[in-house]
């Protein structure tokens, strides 16, 4: 329990907070760009920092396979290895391993699986995941848990959440306490309110530095997700950060913040940067569309990223058509900056008591995007 | 004739100069990174500038096909389009068009060819090339010429150089003079000294802002190239810059500087960045090699690029294995920085009268690289 968290202010269920780690402070609500393999794809780490990101997510599964946790530890930990001196959160590897259908075998002890790279066999368990995340020098270690897809029958989710809670206890026990480092529990329970309550209660008893809401954004749709978020966050301790894993689109994030969530991660801004998609306040733009061919305008009016500051849509369109890496670099930068600006606007709106106005404007802009040519 | 050039100092045949353009000064000897399609691949333009590059090369052939010279002109020229406010030199498109064997038809008037992108037919001539380079807003326009491969029979080279010199005259005539912009002639003649002399004489009579040495680095090998460079540069006016097109490896450049060449361009640093090759004073390193897997060391001791300043070889090796774009970004940056450091060292050595010492050390380091594991 060595990560300090302050709730500075609340508006309704929404919270403005600060999370203190050995590598710096994270202002919440916060969005964490994903650096799967020890790099946020197509970005220099100093550029990621320049977008305003205060914490990155690293993937235990990918890093344990390549280059391996021992190598990262030998190189001084993930911060040093990848030249990122701000906080890092690592997932437990559980979610990725569970997704390897056919290649993995789950038991009470843990998961046997084959690497997607070379088929080599590995074993992950709460104890093993804690060890790896320790070697990576992760500031925020995530419990090893099981995540079931939605919808799933009640008894399937129940059996799964019960095992995940036993794994949570093992994770906490195996976690090595250090000042400025911490461990988050993960609430499961699918879309069953009583199982979410059961999970939250178990986690509270074990005691964590923060609490994630897991098992959402797995295909259930925004409406179903919000239904769960209408009750799930409040089941978790008020005085600890709440992290909604793998979420999401900008409107998912705004909706979740209004329901009391503090932290987010998602590959969407980076992945979209590689598929010509750009986020704007009026919705997404596909820069490959031929209507951008002679467009002088910046991608998004008012954005201060390098792409919007220095280039026309025509140029980015050209880069895309020519298959130039710079298109991916600039679009990724813009998208991460879009997400960070969104989070900064949310924090500012909380501070200035204008959250409702902000949210109304946000949804109005998005709706406008549907009816006008961006 | 509106590009001012100063020869500040000479040591033997080697010259230290300054070339003034509307978009800034180029200190010679200079190396121009190649920005084929309106971007130096995998580099932000501010990063290219940070390497010390004072001028870029753009490719007329690629840009005329995509996005098209009219579009670039409409967008305010290539500098604005690609966010590079320093000087730009464009080639004439001739070399690329000639390389399209089977797809092109050369006549006295010009060249008919099919685009490698979509097969659409285009026509390039001296007049057409000048028009395109004008639209691109190139500071240094290159004459449209023919380039034959080496070795070629005497009469083939003779017929070709004679046509190229008629094309040089047409190019000059079609070139629109503007202050801070200029046009370079291109000496041809293969490895025949009398044809090189003939070409130089013709070009001098027409009169240009600078003179390129063309038709080398086309597979003839360094020894043959240096044989030609032993006489070719001095055939060109002393008081104008001399530009060896498409060259080359670091030792090609040092050898050519010692023979009186002032300017260079080559895809080698950028292309090598995409194939895991890194230039160092001791030779090239392939970072994919497994011996780098656990190597703490920077790529090159004493290099101040971001790669060498912040990362281990182990990290770059990991990025390469994982197919991460950042590997290409960092290696490209290092390689361009290596070339710019080399040019800065050469200029410094001229200024401080230590050119011979510098060259001796340069070749000694390279030779040492052959016998020790880098």
Distance between CA atoms of residues B18 and B54, nearest Å: 11
**A351 belongs to a structural domain:** yes
CB atoms within 10 A of CB A149: 14
Query: What is the pLDDT at residue A60?
Result: 97
Whether B195 contacts B165, CB under 8 Å? no
Q: Which residues contact B209 (CB under 8 A, 6 or more apart)?
A: B1, B2, B3, B5, B140, B182, B183, B184, B240, B241
Whether B247 and B180 share a structural domain? yes
Residue B329 to residue A42, Cβ atoms within 8 A: yes
Rounded to 5 degrees, what angle do the CA atoms A172, A174, A179 make? 75
- Note down pLDDT in tens along chain B; length 374 residues: 589 999 999 999 999 999 999 999 999 999 999 999 999 999 999 999 999 999 999 999 999 999 999 999 999 999 999 999 999 999 999 898 888 867 789 999 999 999 989 889 999 999 999 999 999 999 999 999 999 888 999 999 999 999 999 999 999 999 999 999 999 999 999 999 999 999 999 999 999 999 999 999 998 999 999 999 999 999 999 999 999 999 999 999 999 999 999 999 999 999 999 999 999 999 999 999 999 999 999 999 999 999 999 999 999 999 999 999 999 999 999 999 999 999 999 999 999 999 999 999 999 999 887 655 66
Distance between CA atoms of residues A249 and A281, nearest Å: 12
Chain B: closest CA distance from residue A59 (Å): 13
Q: Which residue of B has its CA nearest to A43?
A: B326
Residue B311 to residue A83, Cβ atoms within 8 A: yes
Whether B246 and B281 share a structural domain? no
Greatest CA separation found in chain B?
A: 60
Whether B253 and B300 share a structural domain? no
Distance between CA atoms of residues B148 and B120, nearest Å: 25
Distance between CA atoms of residues B14 and B19, nearest Å: 16
Distance between CA atoms of residues A189 and A211, nearest Å: 14
How many distinct structural domains can be found in chain A?
A: 2
> Is the CB of B361 inside 8 Å of chain A's CB atoms?
no
Q: Contacts of residue A67 in chain B, CB cutoff 8 Å?
A: 293, 314, 317-318, 321
- List, in sequence order, every residue forming a beta bridge with A56; answer none if it has no partner: A88
Distance between CA atoms of residues A64 and A335, nearest Å: 28
**B373 belongs to a structural domain:** no
Tell me the pairing of strands B277-280 and B263-265. unpaired
Rounded to 5 degrees, what angle do the CA atoms A132, A133, A136 make? 90
Q: Which residues contact A78 (CB under 8 A, 6 or more apart)?
A: A38, A58, A63, A72, A84, A88, A90, A136, A137, A138
**B98 belongs to a structural domain:** yes
Domain extent for B185: 4-266
Residue A75 to residue B296, Cβ atoms within 8 A: yes
Distance between CA atoms of residues B39 and A326, nearest Å: 7
Distance between CA atoms of residues B72 and A314, nearest Å: 9
Q: For residue A32, which of A19, B28, A319, A22 has the smallest C-alpha distance?
A: A19
Residue A82 to residue B296, Cβ atoms within 8 A: no
> Is the CB of B43 inside 8 Å of chain A's CB atoms?
yes
Peptide linkage before A15 cis (omega within 30 of 0): no
Domain final residue, candidates A239, A265, A291: A265
| A75 φ, ψ (degrees, to nearest 5) | -85, 5
Half-sphere exposure of A275 (CA within 13 A, CB side): 8
Q: Which residue of A has its CA nearest to B75?
A: A296
> Is the CB of B357 inside 8 Å of chain A's CB atoms?
no
**B172 belongs to a structural domain:** yes
Tell me the pairing of strands A30-32 and A34-35. unpaired
**Where does residue B353 rank: exposed (0-12), middle (13-18), buried (19+ CB within 10 A)?**
exposed
Model ipTM value: 0.96
How far the first Cα of chain B sits from its last, in Å, is 47
For every residue of B67-86, DSSP letters joined together read T-HHHHHHTT-HHHHHT--S
Whether A140 and A190 share a structural domain? yes
Query: What is the residue whose two structure tokens read 């530009």?
Result: B243
Query: What is the residue whose two structure tokens read 């999401």?
Result: A248
Q: Give the gyration radius of chain A's Cα atoms.
A: 20
Q: Contacts of residue A317 in chain B, CB cutoff 8 Å?
A: 67
Whether A240 contacts A2, CB under 8 Å? no
Number of H helices, E strands in chain B: 15, 17
Whether A148 and A220 share a structural domain? yes
Whether A70 and A216 share a structural domain? yes
| A38 φ, ψ (degrees, to nearest 5) | 85, 20
**A369 belongs to a structural domain:** no
Chain A, 71 to 100: residues with Cβ < 8 Å from chain B are 71, 74-75, 81-83
The one catalytic residue among A85, A91, A194, A252: A91
Q: Contacts of residue A41 in chain B, CB cutoff 8 Å?
A: 324-326
Whether A198 and A287 share a structural domain? no
**A250 belongs to a structural domain:** yes
C-alpha A152, offset from chain centre = 23
**A259 belongs to a structural domain:** yes
Residue B324 to residue A66, Cβ atoms within 8 A: no
| A138 φ, ψ (degrees, to nearest 5) | -70, 135
Residue B310 to residue A83, Cβ atoms within 8 A: yes
**CATH number of the domain to which A199 belongs:** 3.20.20.105
Distance between CA atoms of residues B69 and A312, nearest Å: 16
Domain final residue, candidates A220, A235, A265: A265
In what helix (H) or strand (E) does residue B154 lie, and over which residues does it extend?
A: helix B154-174
Tokens for B344? 């800065």
Whether A156 and A72 share a structural domain? yes
Chain A: closest CA distance from residue B251 (Å): 29
Whether A299 and A236 share a structural domain? no
Q: Contacts of residue A74 in chain B, CB cutoff 8 Å?
A: 294
Q: Which residues contact A176 (CB under 8 A, 6 or more apart)?
A: A130, A134
Task: Specify whether A177 is catalytic.
Answer: no
Whether B57 and B177 share a structural domain? yes
Residue B42 to residue A314, Cβ atoms within 8 A: no
In what helix (H) or strand (E) does residue B327 lie, and over which residues does it extend?
A: helix B325-351
Name the DSSP class of B303.
-
Rounded to 5 degrees, what angle do the CA atoms B209, B214, B220 make? 160
Name the DSSP class of B94.
H
Distance between CA atoms of residues A70 and A78, nearest Å: 11
**B106 belongs to a structural domain:** yes
Distance between CA atoms of residues A167 and A109, nearest Å: 9
Whether B147 contacts B214, CB under 8 Å? yes
Q: For residue A48, which of B331, B329, B322 has the smallest C-alpha distance?
A: B329
Q: Contacts of residue B39 in chain A, CB cutoff 8 Å?
A: 319, 324, 326
With H, G, I as helix, E, B as strand and everything else as coil, classify residue B371: helix
| B263 φ, ψ (degrees, to nearest 5) | -135, 150
Q: Contacts of residue A81 in chain B, CB cutoff 8 Å?
A: 312, 314-315, 318
- Note down pLDDT in tens along chain A; length 374 residues: 589 999 999 999 999 999 999 999 999 999 999 999 999 999 999 999 999 999 999 999 999 999 999 999 999 999 999 999 999 999 999 888 888 866 789 999 999 999 989 889 999 999 999 999 999 999 999 999 999 988 999 999 999 999 999 999 999 999 999 999 999 999 999 999 999 999 999 999 999 999 999 999 998 999 999 999 999 999 999 999 999 999 999 999 999 999 999 999 999 999 999 999 999 999 999 999 999 999 999 999 999 999 999 999 999 999 999 999 999 999 999 999 999 999 999 999 999 999 999 999 999 999 887 655 66
Helix axes A193-206, A154-174, angle to 10 degrees: 10
Q: For residue A14, which of A234, A208, A281 has the smallest C-alpha distance?
A: A234
Whether A92 contacts A171, CB under 8 Å? yes
Chains A, B: CB pairs < 8 Å? 98
> Is the CB of B117 inside 8 Å of chain A's CB atoms?
no
Write out the E strands in chain B.
Answer: 4-11, 14-21, 24-28, 30-32, 34-35, 56-58, 88-90, 104-106, 111-114, 121-124, 140-142, 182-187, 210-213, 242-244, 263-265, 277-280, 283-286
Q: Contacts of residue B83 in chain A, CB cutoff 8 Å?
A: 310-311, 315
Whether B81 and B135 share a structural domain? yes
Task: Specify whether A357 is catalytic.
Answer: no
Residue B37 to residue A328, Cβ atoms within 8 A: no
Q: For residue B191, which of B145, B146, B158 has the smallest C-alpha distance?
A: B158
| Candidates A41, A75, A76, partner chain B, best to mutate (most B CBs within 10 A) | A75
Domain final residue, candidates A210, A238, A265: A265
**Where does residue A95 rank: exposed (0-12), middle (13-18), buried (19+ CB within 10 A)?**
buried
Residue B321 to residue A293, Cβ atoms within 8 A: no
Tell me the pairing of strands A14-21 and A4-11. antiparallel
Whether A259 and A303 share a structural domain? no
């Amino acid at each position: 329990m060595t990560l300090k968290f302050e709730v500075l202010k609340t508006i309704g269920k929404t919270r403005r907070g600060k999370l203190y780690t050995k590598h710096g402070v994270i202002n919440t609500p916060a969005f964490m760009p994903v650096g799967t393999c020890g790099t946020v794809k197509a970005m220099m780490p100093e550029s990621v920092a320049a977008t305003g990101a205060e914490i990155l997510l690293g993937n235990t599964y990918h890093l344990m396979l390549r280059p391996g946790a021992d190598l990262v530890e030998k190189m001084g930990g993930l911060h040093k290895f990848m030249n990122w001196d701000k906080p890092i959160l690592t997932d437990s590897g559980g979610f990725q391993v569970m997704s390897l259908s056919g290649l993995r075998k789950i038991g009470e002890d843990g998961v046997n699986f084959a690497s997607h790279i070379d088929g080599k066999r590995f074993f992950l368990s709460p104890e093993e995941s804690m060890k790896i995340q320790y070697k990576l020098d992760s500031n925020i270690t995530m419990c090893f848990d099981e995540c079931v897809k939605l919808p799933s029958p009640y008894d399937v989710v129940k059996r799964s959440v019960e095992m995940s809670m036993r794994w949570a206890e093992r994770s906490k026990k195996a976690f090595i306490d250090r000042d400025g480092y911490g461990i988050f529990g993960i609430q499961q329970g699918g879309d069953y309110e009583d199982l979410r309550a059961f999970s939250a209660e178990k986690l509270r008893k074990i005691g964590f530095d923060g609490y994630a809401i897991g098992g959402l954004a797995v295909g259930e749709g925004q409406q179903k997700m919000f239904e769960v978020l209408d009750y799930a966050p409040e089941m978790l301790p008020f005085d600890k950060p709440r992290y909604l894993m793998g979420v999401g689109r900008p409107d998912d994030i705004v909706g979740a913040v209004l329901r009391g969530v503090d932290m987010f991660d998602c590959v969407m801004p980076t992945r979209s940067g590689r598929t010509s998609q750009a986020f704007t306040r009026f919705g997404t733009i596909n820069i490959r569309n031929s209507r951008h061919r002679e467009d002088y305008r910046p991608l998004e009016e008012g954005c201060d990223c390098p792409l919007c500051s220095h280039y026309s849509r025509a140029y980015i369109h050209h880069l895309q058509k020519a298959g130039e890496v710079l298109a991916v670099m600039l679009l990724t930068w813009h998208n991460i900056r879009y997400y960070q600006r969104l989070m900064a606007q949310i924090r500012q709106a909380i501070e200035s008591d204008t959250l409702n106005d902000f949210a109304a404007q946000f949804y109005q802009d998005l709706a406008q995007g549907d009816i006008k040519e961006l």
